[in-house]
Amino acid sequence: MTVTICQQHFEVRHRVINKLRSAREAGLLLAVSQTELQALLEEVDQLQLVAQAANHFAPFALRGLEEPQAALRDALRAWKT
């Protein structure tokens, strides 16, 4: 149930982003509803969390020959628990 709800929220956020991107590329006025704006702000919040985690964990991610993305993913998993 939670995965389905999360997936729906993800789809709504990205639908708004795609709508705005298309409008910008077409030279149209960028206009969104209050609901769409809320969805967009939720996406920004999530991106800020990832950026913050990267800033705090990336310096400690240099372990062996692992890819930086794998080290960051592991750090994010540890941070979420």
> Concatenated DSSP letters for the chain?
-HHHHHHHHHHHHHHHHHHHHHHHHTT------HHHHHHHHHHHHHHHHHHHHHHHHGGG---TT--HHHHHHHHHHHHH-
Q: What is the pLDDT of residue 40?
A: 86
What letter represents residue 33's amino acid?
Answer: S
Residue with tokens 């609901």: 35
If one counts the domains in the chain, the total is 1
pLDDT tens across 25-81, in order?
999 998 888 988 888 888 888 888 877 777 666 555 555 555 666 777 777 777 665
Q: The tokens of 27 are what?
A: 């030279």
**Domain extent at residue 65:** 2-80
pLDDT score of 1 more than 90:
no
Q: Which of 15-19, 22-26, 31-35 has the highest mean pLDDT?
A: 22-26
Q: What is the pLDDT of residue 26?
A: 95
Q: Given this model, what pLDDT does residue 62 score?
A: 57
Q: pTM for the full model? A: 0.55
Cα dihedral sign, 55-60-64-70:
negative
Phi-psi category of 68—alpha, beta or left, where left has phi over 0 and alpha has psi -120 to 50? Answer: alpha
